[in-house]
Structure 1
Amino acid sequence: MFRWFERRLDPYPMDVPGMPPRGFWAFLLHYSHGAVRWLILLAIGSSLIAVVEVALFGYLGDLVNRLSDTPRDQFWQEEGTRLIAMGALLLIVFPLLNALTSMVMHQTLLGNFPQRVRWQAHRYLLRQSVGYFQDEFAGRIAQRLMQTALAVREVAMKMMDVASYVLVYFLGALVLAASQDWRLALPFAAWGIAYAVMLWQIVPRLGRVSQAQADARSAMTGQIVDSYTNIATVKLFSHSDREEAWVRRGMDRFLQTVHGQMRLSALQDILLTVINVALTAAVTAVGLMLWTRGAISVGAVAVAVPLAMRLNNMSHWIMWEFAALFENVGTVRDGINSLALPRAVRDDPAALPLVTKEGAVRFEGVTFRYGAQIADRPMPVLDDLNLSIAPGERIGLVGRSGAGKSTLLNLLLRFHDLEGGRILIDGQDIAQVTQESLRAAIGVVTQDTSLLHRSIRDNITYGRPGASDDEVMAAARLAEAQDFIPILSDSQGRRGLDAHVGERGVKLSGGQRQRIAIARVALKDAPILVLDEATSALDSEVEAAIQSRLDMLMQGKTVIAIAHRLSTIAAMDRLVVMEAGKIVEEGSHAELLAQGGIYARLWQRQSGGFIGVDEEQTGPSASAAE
């Protein structure tokens, strides 16, 4: 029975995730899709439970009257049928309704509903552009994802469950009291008006405070995660005190929102107590007055006073439920600001998978600047750049920092859209193909290697899921990683390929991370290979050992390589020298040396094989973003 209800709502729908709407109600409906019928069933069940409870209260008054008016020897004969019906309502119908709503709530919705929201939102965020993640703390994004999923569930369920139960219960109590005497219903009506005014005045304020609190909480979490993620830097610079002060500012901002929330909660509790005791006193006084005048029976008093006390007890629960509802409304609104954002880089609706036959790459009139959408537009990083790379050709990109080399590679990977021009792979405009197929055709090893907090095997097979251990170790040998992998271990006792590498690979040295990254790309075996300072983290001995393996890796591939250590790319088929977003020189190593231009000067100024800083290099290109 439990399993049947648990399977009614799929927590992992495979629909293509679209951008969530920016409007609150539209956002809520977007993520409630699929759960609506179960939310409606929950509301119906809660409403029926409220009706049954009020009906039982109503019968209590009749029972008191009949106990006083009916002779004892005739009581069961006259009242037996109604007693059996009410007994069935109490012992059978009420438990069944409660069981149904409980199953729908706990088995179908409480677990599956937020998981469904997390899954859909996570799938959408995974396809966000790289710039989205560069602009936010990873911990903050994750915190908002988790908070929003729970908040969507709470808002939807409280509206359908609590709101329907409370509305039906209060209206039933009002009708029940009025059915005895209209004057008996007046205290309930006055209480309802006062209660509604208090909800209207206080609860929305709690929602606004909650939105600020959700933002402050996610920011605080992001700050803490940032400190932990960069703990090595914190310790190297002996800045534990500085980190404490920075995080404390975030904690203080969060604490101020908590204090604001607690003030409103205290005010709410005080006012609620006042109107509750007023309700009980008023109902008792009116009931006794009407009874002494013979307007109502003793049974009516016996129903009205306990009903007022029941509402008294319920009101605190109702208020907290509505307060929690508006707190979650605030959390959802805060989540909308992070989750319902358009993708900066989107696939064309008619995009087809990239078909790579030879691996020819061509840049035609490429122009790009970061922040091009801003009115005060910065200088272009790339300006009308043209470059053709033949299939299987190996080129090296050379230039000072800020020349635009890494930007060119990021555009090839379509991490950003061009401002002008186009990029072609085997004659196909990369803006017209799917991003997944584009990046599947390109193997990349970067200077800043980041590994997943998983096993060595998982990290290497990220290049080709499903590869055998023999294929994994073959790729590791190509990357000169075969010696250190068998001796790796982690805190859980896992060794070799099963050892986990820590967050971003912190348990490995820079050189070891770089070799794992090279093995990953070797296993991927993509037709286009991008090397962005691929050997920068390796010492000279390991670099020399791996260079011949890299030559094997590059065979039959179109290669674009960046290296400040010019000796590592001097043997490329062609070197392309960039300056201020333009190509200023092209040719082989020998040809460029013979020209005596920028490349020749860079070569001469190297110390230990690195590009020196040209003292004549000034202006925007010296500091432009890579």
Structure 2
Amino acid sequence: MTSPTTPRLSTVRSLARLLPFAKPVLPRLALGGVSALVASLLALGIPLVLEVIVADGGPIDSGDPWLIALGAGAILLLGLVEALMVWARRWFVLGPATRVEYELRTDFFSRLQRLPVSFHDRWQSGQLLSRMMQDISLIRRWLAFGIVLLIVNMLTILVGSVILFSWHWLLGTIFVVVSAPLWISGYLFEKQYGLLSRQSQDQAGDLATAVEESVHGIRVLKAFGRGSHALKKFTRQAETLRQTELSKAKAVGWIWFWLVLLPDIAFALCLGAGIYLVQAGEIDRGALIAFFAMATILRWPVESIGFLFSFLVDARTATDRIFEVFDEQNTITDPDRPATIAEPRGALVFEGARFRYQDAASTERDLLDGVDLSLRPGETMALVGLTGSGKTTLTTLPGRLYDVTGGRVTLDGVDIRDLSISELRRHVGMAFEDATLFSQTVRENVLLGREDLAGGGDEAERVLREALQVAQAGFVDTLPHGVDTVIGEEGLSLSGGQRQRLALARAVAARPAVLVLDDPLSALDVDTEALVEDALREVLADTTALIVAHRPSTVTLADRVALLQDGRVTAVGTHSELLRSSEHYRYVISSLEDEQERQNKREATL
């Protein structure tokens, strides 16, 4: 489990954090509780009617069939109204509970979208998935049934105990005293079960992560014959979860042992005391029968306490896990008074830009150690450097995927942190080496950054076709439904080159003032790359572009080249200028050429 922990709150304070989500539906939840309470009180009324029927000198002793029928009818009526109240309780609570579930889930997803990339770097996707699906569903079930039944059953026990005392103080005392240890064991159970519940839910999240990683990496596992290795790892995690679930079951089994045993002991003791009291003339036969009928009705509320306590603990744990995400600080936010750029020109400037990851040791140097770089409007700048020099990190800064930890980045003279995130990302488009596509149509994937074209039309079709042409993605017309073909999960049904071309088309279709490309052509063959580069030259004629180059051919796209070395820009100039003046640049280009030659040889053998 890689998620951070937050201070543990009490159960009441933890669950109270759900109040803002539940507040709009509280009236209906309250009506559901009232319906459940009325149903319980009606059930408690049945022994009172029974007492009248079987009391000494009552309808049974008199033998009057009309009185007996009247008593039976009263019991039947109480039962029917009780059933109606149970139905009303479900009707009142189910809709509101699903509404809270919907609000929680949409807010949770919205929060995930707003949190910075650094958050997603630290959290396992399986942990987030288990919170989104399992924990929020558990809270819905608790709101619909758990909290209502817990409150109603406790009130039922209280009212029923008072009635028991009204028949005879000794019988009431025996029942309450024998049942009292249940509350003590319930308290101890809550503490133990709370730890196990949290452990179980976290382990379930880890298991979900393992499944997700194995499914996404199934090609790698099969290629290297490591399916059995993944299975062994998964088996160990599944066994750990199984042991935790067994510990939970043992804890629940122990509380149920007392929940079943103690009421039986109370029944036995009350029976002995009741017979003695009848013989002594302190209570009559009807009161004793009614007492046991009442005690039988109270047995379910008493026995349910253990289940409802475990349900309460599970809900508290689920709430804690959800609010761990809600409590995460979003460090990349809109300014209070956002600046605007009416007509962006695309002048991108890095001024002493520094960056380090939050969890980096203080003794480590910054990944970006004071980058000074200026891109003129409409200029194409290639960024080259050895592996680990900070190229990819630098490309994440213009779009504020990460924020600089020192210095600043400006767009047309405006600090990008002074722009709203939505406006900034309209002006800055990106395409990554690792192309990510969504389980949507080709059209929806390519036009993802053009919300203004969501309605379709001639303009949307024109932009789509132009972007596909630039990216040399004509292969989409051979798909079963053309541009309306739904791409499989993450686009894995396509080749790496096809995914990269669609990702490039997406960046081009966005028509940003600044285009940041992190080696978006690495999976293309030489011929396709040449065609894409020719088309890109036209697109980049009036667009500022920062391109990470891992191939010498990509450098030829650029007006100028920036050499990144150990987190700093050490040289800027044209390709020919840097070849003459920088020994390190010549070494980097030589390394790129060697890698390009090896790749060409691999392609030639295929």
Q: What TM-score, normalized to structure 1? A: 0.86
Out of 128, 145, 149, the residue aligned to residue 162 of structure 1 is: 149
Q: Indicate if the aligned counterparts of 1:566 and 1:609 stay in contact, CA closer than 8 A.
A: no
What does residue range 108-127 of structure 1 map to in structure 2 within 5 Å?
A: 108-109=96-97, 111-127=98-114
What does residue range 430-509 of structure 1 map to in structure 2 within 5 Å?
A: 430-465=416-451, 466=454, 467=456, 468-482=460-474, 484-489=475-480, 495-509=481-495
Matched residue, 1:269:
256
Letter in 2 for 1:552: E
Out of 40, 48, 61, the residue aligned to residue 38 of structure 2 is: 48
- Shift in CA distance, 524/589, structure 1 to aligned 2, threshold 3 Å: same
Instruction: Compute the displacement of 1:287 (Å).
Output: 2.0
Could you say what secondary structure the match of 2:489 adopts?
coil
Letter in 1 for 2:47: F
Instruction: Compute the displacement of 1:256 (Å).
Output: 1.5
- Shift in CA distance, 611/487, structure 1 to aligned 2, threshold 3 Å: closer
Out of 184, 188, 208, the residue aligned to residue 197 of structure 1 is: 184
d(CA) in 2 for partners of 1:310, 1:69: 23
Matched residue, 2:119:
132
Matched residue, 1:104:
92
Q: Indicate if the aligned counterparts of 1:485 and 1:497 stay in contact, CA closer than 8 A.
A: yes
Gaps of 5+ in 2: 1-5, 599-606
Residue 426 in 1 paired to residue 412 in 2?
yes
Residue 593 in 1 paired to residue 579 in 2?
yes
Single out whichever of 324-333 and 172-181 deviates more from structure 2.
Answer: 324-333
- Shift in CA distance, 177/344, structure 1 to aligned 2, threshold 3 Å: same
Q: Indicate if the aligned counterparts of 1:58 and 1:176 stay in contact, CA closer than 8 A.
A: no
Q: Indicate if the aligned counterparts of 1:57 and 1:307 stay in contact, CA closer than 8 A.
A: yes
What does residue range 255-266 of structure 1 map to in structure 2 within 5 Å?
A: 255-266=242-253
Q: Indicate if the aligned counterparts of 1:363 and 1:388 stay in contact, CA closer than 8 A.
A: yes
Matched residue, 1:281:
268
Instruction: Compute the displacement of 1:308 (Å).
Output: 1.9
Out of 488, 511, 528, the residue aligned to residue 514 of structure 2 is: 528
Q: Indicate if the aligned counterparts of 1:46 and 1:164 stay in contact, CA closer than 8 A.
A: no
Matched residue, 1:152:
139
- Shift in CA distance, 504/22, structure 1 to aligned 2, threshold 3 Å: farther
d(CA) in 1 for partners of 2:115, 2:557: 38
Matched residue, 1:411:
397
Single out whichever of 495-504 and 238-247 deviates more from structure 2.
Answer: 495-504
What does residue range 538-549 of structure 1 map to in structure 2 within 5 Å?
A: 538-549=524-535
d(CA) in 2 for partners of 1:605, 1:523: 33
d(CA) in 2 for partners of 1:432, 1:398: 29
Q: Indicate if the aligned counterparts of 2:369 and 2:567 stay in contact, CA closer than 8 A.
A: yes
Q: Indicate if the aligned counterparts of 2:533 and 2:557 stay in contact, CA closer than 8 A.
A: no
Could you say what secondary structure the match of 2:328 adopts?
coil
Matched residue, 2:312:
325
Letter in 2 for 1:540: V
Matched residue, 2:227:
240
Instruction: Compute the displacement of 1:430 (Å).
Output: 1.2
Instruction: Compute the displacement of 1:571 (Å).
Output: 4.1
d(CA) in 1 for partners of 2:149, 2:7: 26
Single out whichever of 182-191 and 62-71 deviates more from structure 2.
Answer: 62-71
Deviations 1:439-461 (A, max 9, x none): 22212111111111222122112
- Shift in CA distance, 462/21, structure 1 to aligned 2, threshold 3 Å: farther
Single out whichever of 262-271 and 575-584 deviates more from structure 2.
Answer: 262-271
What does residue range 384-395 of structure 1 map to in structure 2 within 5 Å?
A: 384-395=370-381
Matched residue, 1:177:
164
d(CA) in 1 for partners of 2:517, 2:570: 21
- Shift in CA distance, 120/405, structure 1 to aligned 2, threshold 3 Å: same
Residue 553 in 1 paired to residue 539 in 2?
yes
Matched residue, 1:25:
15
Instruction: Compute the displacement of 1:185 (Å).
Output: 0.8
Instruction: Compute the displacement of 1:88 (Å).
Output: 5.5
Q: Indicate if the aligned counterparts of 1:403 and 1:580 stay in contact, CA closer than 8 A.
A: yes
Deviations 1:227-262 (A, max 9, x none): 111111111211112111111121121111012112
Instruction: Supply the RMSD in Å over aligned alpha carbons.
Output: 2.7
- Shift in CA distance, 48/553, structure 1 to aligned 2, threshold 3 Å: same
d(CA) in 2 for partners of 1:125, 1:419: 22
Instruction: Compute the displacement of 1:433 (Å).
Output: 1.9
Q: Indicate if the aligned counterparts of 2:156 and 2:301 stay in contact, CA closer than 8 A.
A: no
- Shift in CA distance, 107/281, structure 1 to aligned 2, threshold 3 Å: same
Deviations 1:441-499 (A, max 9, x none): 212111111111222122112132424445423321222112x212224xxxxx32232
Letter in 2 for 1:585: A
Matched residue, 2:388:
402
Single out whichever of 176-185 and 590-599 deviates more from structure 2.
Answer: 590-599
What does residue range 327-406 of structure 1 map to in structure 2 within 5 Å?
A: 327-352=314-339, 355-371=342-358, 376-406=362-392
Letter in 2 for 1:121: F
Q: Indicate if the aligned counterparts of 1:444 and 1:530 stay in contact, CA closer than 8 A.
A: yes
Matched residue, 2:602:
none
Q: What TM-score, normalized to structure 2? A: 0.89
d(CA) in 2 for partners of 1:229, 1:194: 51
- Shift in CA distance, 353/138, structure 1 to aligned 2, threshold 3 Å: farther
Between the two proteins, what is the percent identity of the paired residues? 25
d(CA) in 2 for partners of 1:581, 1:153: 49
Letter in 1 for 2:467: A
Q: Indicate if the aligned counterparts of 1:367 and 1:419 stay in contact, CA closer than 8 A.
A: yes
Matched residue, 2:29:
39
Matched residue, 1:622:
none
Could you say what secondary structure the match of 1:480 adopts?
coil
Instruction: Compute the displacement of 1:103 (Å).
Output: 0.6
Single out whichever of 557-566 and 428-437 deviates more from structure 2.
Answer: 428-437
Q: Indicate if the aligned counterparts of 2:513 and 2:544 stay in contact, CA closer than 8 A.
A: yes
Instruction: Compute the displacement of 1:266 (Å).
Output: 2.3
Matched residue, 2:82:
94
Q: Indicate if the aligned counterparts of 1:453 and 1:504 stay in contact, CA closer than 8 A.
A: yes
d(CA) in 1 for partners of 2:592, 2:499: 27
Gaps of 5+ in 1: 1-19, 490-494, 613-626
Letter in 1 for 2:166: S
Where is the helix percentage greater, Structure 1 or Structure 2?
2
Could you say what secondary structure the match of 1:150 adopts?
helix
Matched residue, 2:58:
67
Deviations 1:500-519 (A, max 9, x none): 32222111111111111122
- Shift in CA distance, 257/409, structure 1 to aligned 2, threshold 3 Å: same
- Shift in CA distance, 470/376, structure 1 to aligned 2, threshold 3 Å: closer
d(CA) in 2 for partners of 1:571, 1:160: 65
Instruction: Compute the displacement of 1:83 (Å).
Output: 8.3
Letter in 2 for 1:44: V
Letter in 2 for 1:535: L
Matched residue, 2:603:
none
Letter in 2 for 1:523: A
d(CA) in 2 for partners of 1:88, 1:604: 93
Matched residue, 2:288:
301
Aligned residues: 582
d(CA) in 2 for partners of 1:21, 1:443: 39
Instruction: Compute the displacement of 1:267 (Å).
Output: 1.8
